[in-house]
């Protein structure tokens, strides 16, 4: 693409409807065009007095619960209707391309329900602990708030995140390819306190959380994990859980696949064997090429994605100082480093981690470079504190084939064109 010096149409009219919609919603092209150095016509954004500089704005009580600016109305969860048979057992995606830092706003956290959003009156919600315990117990929400609390930042990633990409590049945007992940601060009670309150019998080895929704979600969790770092959470980012995130109570299973983070948590049974529920037999098992399937693939391995530039966040300049922004996370601990490639994985440069780098939370990375305006094949590669290096998609497929559905943590490639457009591609 080098040598094409004519300025492309920057109005976006030549782009696909998808890109145009995203640009119209949030990004101003005019500012980019006016940013060029040198003599330019005076900017009416400066020379003309806007209404907001002249007239009074709304008073303090007009927005008792604030919302984002109307100019951010394009920053929303989106779904892919053809992925599932019904919107009640389906998924919506976090708009990663529009976000920064490591904390996902509550209203933008991706959703995955199996029977829609249960709307629960917290005064009628109960948590039961039964099974291999000395004394089966029932707790109200008020009861649970009398236990000592912990605050922890964790990522929650659906096991199927990037699952549609096993066979190749399919969806054009990191919201769709990687948006089944969010990261918030949870406030809750360590599960071990609740289990100890009931008293574990000596043959206790597994626990099974169960949801109060119409799917009555159940998963088998080994007792060791339950007693290690699981939380029974009632707050996210400081406020009550959102209904779509399990209000009033959900399980937090740090580093492990999102399906196990049972929402609308109503019961925890203690047993001596796993239950082999539908969600750990029919689903959340990973089919291999030889016809065997892995079960109990709990941990989400180290992964990363460049969120900008990306197909929904094209570059609005044609050369010069450029910021690559992205996310990295690992269910096995802290992110140790992230490398970025501009040439499809042939050469790499270390990225810069910025902000808190917490175990089993997303970490933000940046890589600043001077873009010469030529085509780029952008990739990011995460390494976690265990020494695990995020694999290529080819490496994963060589071991697992293409029918695993779950646990695709392969390296993502974005093709950046000289006109700033970005596409999801695979490279040799």
Structure token digits, residue 105 = 């706003």
Alpha-carbon distance of 342 to 368, in angstroms, equals 11
Which residue lies nearer to other proteins by CB, 159 or 241? 159
Decide: 204 and 272 in contact? Cβ < 8 Å: yes
**What ranges in 199-260 are assigned the alpha helix state H?**
223-228
* CA atoms of 341 and 201, how far apart (whole Å): 53
Closest contact distance (angstroms) between CB of 38 and other proteins is 35
Q: How far is the CB of 89 from other proteins (least distance, A)?
A: 7
- Minimum distance between the CB of residue 254 and other proteins, rounded to whole angstroms? 8
How far apart are the C-alpha atoms of 261 and 31, rounded to whole Å? Answer: 43
Burial class (CB in 10 A: 0-12, 13-18, 19+), 58: exposed
Rounded least distance, CB 222 to other proteins, Å: 8
CB 61 to other proteins: min, Å: 37
Within 330-375, strands assigned E span 335-341, 349-350, 352-354, 363-371
Q: Which is nearer to other proteins, 72 or 289 (CB)?
A: 289
- Whole-angstrom distance, CA of residue 111 vs CA of residue 115: 12
First CA to last CA across the chain, in angstroms?
Answer: 19
Q: Which is nearer to other proteins, 322 or 379 (by Cβ)? A: 379
Region for 355 from its dihedrals, namely left if φ exceeds 0, alpha if ψ lies in -120 to 50, beta otherwise: left
Please tell me the distance from the alpha carbon of residue 23 to that of residue 72, in angstroms, as a whole number. Answer: 11
Residue found by looking up tokens 């117990």 in the block: 137
Nearer to other proteins, 33 or 201 (CB): 201
Nearer to other proteins by C-beta: 34 or 357? 357
| Separation between Cα atoms, residue 50 and residue 60, nearest integer Å | 22
Angle at 391 between CA 388 and CA 393, to 5 degrees: 160
| Closest distance of CB 416 from other proteins, Å | 12
Nearest approach, Cβ of residue 48 and other proteins (Å): 34
Nearer to other proteins, 90 or 237 (CB): 90
- State in angstroms the smallest separation of the CB of 106 from other proteins: 22
Which is nearer to other proteins, 237 or 332 (by Cβ)? 332
In terms of CB distance, is 145 or 242 closer to other proteins?
Answer: 145
**Among 194, 101, 206, CA closest to 150:** 194
């Amino acid at each position: 693409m080098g040598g094409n010096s004519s300025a492309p149409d920057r109005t976006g009219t030549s782009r696909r409807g998808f890109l145009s919609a995203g640009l119209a919603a949030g990004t101003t092209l005019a500012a980019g065009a006016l940013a060029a150095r040198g003599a330019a016509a005076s900017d009416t954004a400066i020379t003309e007095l806007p209404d907001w500089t002249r007239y009074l704005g709304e008073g303090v009580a007009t927005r008792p619960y604030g919302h984002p600016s109307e100019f951010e109305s394009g920053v929303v969860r989106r779904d892919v209707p053809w992925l599932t048979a019904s919107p009640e057992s389906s998924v919506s995606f976090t708009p990663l391309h529009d976000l920064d830092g490591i904390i996902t706003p509550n209203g933008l956290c991706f959703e995955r329900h199996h029977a829609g959003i249960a709307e629960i009156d917290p005064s009628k919600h109960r948590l039961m602990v039964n099974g291999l315990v000395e004394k089966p117990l029932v707790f109200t929400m008020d009861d649970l708030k009398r236990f000592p609390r912990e605050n922890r930042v964790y990522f929650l990633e659906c096991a199927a995140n990037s699952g549609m990409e096993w066979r190749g590049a399919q969806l054009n945007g990191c919201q769709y390819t990687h948006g089944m992940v969010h990261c918030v601060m949870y406030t809750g009670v360590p599960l071990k306190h609740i289990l100890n309150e009931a008293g574990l019998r000596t043959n206790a080895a597994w626990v099974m959380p169960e949801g109060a929704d119409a799917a009555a979600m159940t998963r088998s969790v080994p007792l060791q994990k339950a007693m290690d770092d699981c939380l029974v959470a009632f707050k996210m980012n400081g406020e009550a859980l959102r209904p779509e995130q399990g209000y009033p109570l959900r399980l937090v299973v740090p580093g492990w696949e999102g399906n196990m983070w049972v929402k609308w948590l109503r019961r925890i049974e203690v047993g001596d064997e796993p239950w082999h529920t539908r969600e750990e037999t029919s689903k959340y098992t990973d089919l291999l090429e030889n016809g065997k399937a892995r079960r109990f693939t709990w941990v989400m391995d180290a992964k990363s994605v460049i969120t900008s530039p990306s197909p929904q966040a094209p570059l609005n300049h044609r050369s010069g100082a450029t910021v690559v922004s992205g996310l990295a996370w690992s269910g096995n601990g802290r992110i140790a480093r992230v490398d970025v490639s501009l040439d499809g994985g042939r050469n790499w440069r270390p990225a810069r981690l910025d902000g808190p780098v917490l175990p089993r939370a997303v970490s933000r990375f940046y890589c600043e470079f001077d873009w010469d305006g030529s085509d780029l094949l952008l990739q990011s590669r995460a390494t976690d504190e265990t020494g695990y290096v995020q694999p290529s998609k080819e490496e994963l497929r060589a071991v697992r084939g293409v029918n695993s559905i779950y646990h695709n943590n392969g390296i993502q490639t974005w093709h950046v064109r000289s006109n700033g457009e970005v596409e999801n591609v695979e490279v040799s």
